[in-house]
Structure 1
């Protein structure tokens, strides 16, 4: 397996929140575009995820506080590139698909680019997870006016601008809070279809009804926030 390029001055940083993804990591890291840096944020894995990531050339960030948001934000604060991307580390999404997302950010076409997941096999996206996502998309429209179809994890944004949003959620609400605060700040938000592949291993969040309900509850709290930003922060 070819190791990813580890550059001290990466063109793009890709934040990969990771909890026991030893099986998926080789495929994910092999798909990181040349010149980009993979920041694998180990969120308390009990398998060899951190060691495998290190051996394959990724920079490993350790975040002991459990939570998807905690892992994402630890990666964001460790990043140094002008543009930062986020991608799940379970092989359900291909990080190479982020290239046009980054191009759109750099060209000024959008301030935040999101991937709309399109399942490529039956059962890839369980009915309860899809239903929860649909409910949240509708609530997001009511709160912000945005007509998005998905709140998936594949996304690209300028690092300094994202830090300026002051995200506080450290659980499942982190991706939604990013979109809500970006909308409140007047950002241009784009959404593009991406293939959603069978993940490796069991989902830590939406693999069960209970996990989905917890995620929806976390995100519903975010939607109750009052706007913190007036106008654009770009």
Structure 2
């Protein structure tokens, strides 16, 4: 019986899904939350053994929340579905929470090349992370990969349903005096044929930073 679910928000990630699901650690149940894909992502995910959750309301936060509501295990991980992050690090993150060393374990992206993380996305992330550190939260990334206990996350009552979701999570974790542990994780170029909704363009980055700035306000 599994006690860890992996929520993978997904919007048109057909090219990446087989590789991502194939790398999910044994005993971890993948939940692919389809956010309105038109490339057959949901069907491909189901064919590769994932539980598929459909969330018609567009937005990263909407997809993540839908996945969290479908989680059955005691622990939940969140991971981008584009192939940029290695699922093999998930047991380490969960282990920190399971062993009581952290309430929230997150990954700090370390790009393997400039192509993996465009300058505008790095700059936006650095700005927001700096503001978080001023609030006393010792993080350097907005945590696209993270692990926590399901019930604890639900108690935080995160309301954002757009790009501000991960930032609201960190802010509320800080307010609740959670122990947050940050580990370096390798950040690779996305799978061929996929494109980031945030870092794929300057406009996408600006939109994400706008949503996050609203959370901070």
Shorter-chain TM-score tier: over 0.9
1:218 aligned onto 2:211: yes
Counterpart for residue 229 of structure 1: none
Counterpart for residue 45 of structure 1: 37
Q: Secondary structure at the match of 2:186?
A: strand
* Residue 138 (structure 1) shift: 1.1
* Residue 123 (structure 1) shift: 1.4
Q: Secondary structure at the match of 1:204?
A: coil
1:194 aligned onto 2:185: yes
Unaligned runs of 5+ in 2: none
Counterpart for residue 123 of structure 1: 115
Counterpart for residue 136 of structure 2: 145
Counterpart for residue 169 of structure 1: 160
Following TM superposition, the consecutive aligned residue runs of length 4 or more in structure 1 with deviations greater than 4 angstroms are: none
1:86 aligned onto 2:73: no
- 8 A Cα contact 2:78 2:146, kept in partner: yes
Measured in 2, the distance between the counterparts of 1:207 and 1:33 equals 28
Total equivalences in the alignment: 215
- 8 A Cα contact 1:15 1:72, kept in partner: yes
Counterpart for residue 232 of structure 1: none
- 8 A Cα contact 2:117 2:199, kept in partner: no
Counterpart for residue 61 of structure 1: 53
- 8 A Cα contact 2:102 2:181, kept in partner: yes
Q: TM-score, normalised by structure 1?
A: 0.90
Q: Secondary structure at the match of 2:115?
A: coil
Counterpart for residue 5 of structure 1: none
Measured in 1, the distance between the counterparts of 2:2 and 2:57 equals 26
* Residue 207 (structure 1) shift: 1.2
Q: TM-score, normalised by structure 2?
A: 0.97
Q: Which has the higher contact order (CA 8 A, sep 6+)?
A: 2
RMSD, aligned CA: 0.8
Counterpart for residue 184 of structure 1: 175
Measured in 2, the distance between the counterparts of 1:77 and 1:11 equals 15
Selected match of 2:28 from 36, 41, 46: 36
Counterpart for residue 4 of structure 1: none
* Residue 11 (structure 1) shift: 2.1
* Residue 96 (structure 1) shift: 1.7
Unaligned runs of 5+ in 1: 1-8, 225-234
- 8 A Cα contact 2:61 2:163, kept in partner: yes
Measured in 2, the distance between the counterparts of 1:122 and 1:214 equals 21
Counterpart for residue 3 of structure 1: none
Measured in 2, the distance between the counterparts of 1:176 and 1:16 equals 17
* Residue 10 (structure 1) shift: 2.2
Selected match of 2:6 from 14, 22, 26: 14
Measured in 2, the distance between the counterparts of 1:140 and 1:214 equals 19
- 8 A Cα contact 1:206 1:215, kept in partner: no
